[in-house]
Structure 1
Amino acid sequence: MSAAAEDEREEQYAFPMPPAGGWTADDLDRIPGLPPHTELIDGGLFFMSPQTDFHMATLRLLEFALVSAAPEDLYVVREMTTKLAKRDRPEPDLMVVPRKARTSREQTWYDPSDIILAVEIISDDSVERDREIKPRKYAGARIPHFWRVEKSNGLPVVYVYELDPATHTYAITGIHHDRLKLAVPFPLDIDLTEI
């Protein structure tokens, strides 16, 4: 590759330099040129890789089922962020919030105190963040329900967690293959083989 082509390539992929002290959750709305679905975890920016068909089909199945089953006072949010702390602004694949948490059409994030359920569908590039880091941060923010979704034999497996109010950590309440039938946070029954 020629030096000119190398310089052009570097310019094409140049990202803003972080300020002293690193990025904050509020910076995410102001940083120019960020790719869609950028997350901030511990002050670091994470960019989403192109998603697989499994991820998209699972997201669509869960979103449709949640929208269909949620009581009228709840709203299902897709791919928006939450400000957990000064240096943490992750983007769950799905969230369930009260309808009153929608403040404007320009809204870009939800307060964790409004989130009833956060859902993360594991991608190859997000395994550590979605299995370890985000659940710990969601529990610390007191989000009462969390689902981690993984692929097994081409189908989704849903790991369901509920916040223990005494320890403020998640306890697993079930691992669901083929069918997800729950009473909380509201009754729902999902055929996971329909992806």
Structure 2
Amino acid sequence: MAADGARPLTVVGVSGSPTRPSRTTALVEHVTDVFASELGGEAVLIELAPLLTDLGAGPYRSDLGPAAIGALETVERADVLVVGSPAYRATYTGLFKLFFDHIGQYALTDTPIVLTATGGSDRHALLVEHQMRPLFGFFQSLTLPLGIFANEGDFTDYRVDSAELSGRIEQTVTRTMPLLASHLRLDPRIAAAAPEFARPDWA
């Protein structure tokens, strides 16, 4: 719950993949669920692929359809965002950028952002640091220090199926829970209750 008990925290995941099914969506959904569980909040997943027509309806937010407007408003109200995109031409997808082009300039100020991305190989891992982090720096968001990148080998049938990836996700949650608890003014017992995961060999 939020510090004042008024409503549950919302952890909103945004997948910028233009396809369904999608490894990016699987990763975003998994990470969103883990953070929501640890924060005692509600997980909400937004897939941008079904919104492509709405988002392309015109250059201004007022041109967009109701589904796109609803998704934008959900993101702007989020307590924590988990965002993800597949690597396309060494950066995030145009669909991902188009969506965030319609977000209010100051709507995500100080919002904690968990950065995730997927690619065919680990050669694309710098997408998180070199492309995604600067984008949310523009919004003056609080991008969490640890990003999460996954390659094709981390999935089976569009499900997270890698002990190494799961370990990195768990480590990210454990190391950022104290920061989130302080930033969101949560009960300190929430951060204290976060499980301690063994430090993996690759860390």
TM-score (norm 1): 0.41
Q: Give the structure with the larger helix fraction.
A: 2
Relative contact order higher in (CA < 8 Å, ≥ 6 apart): 2
Q: Which has the higher strand share?
A: 1
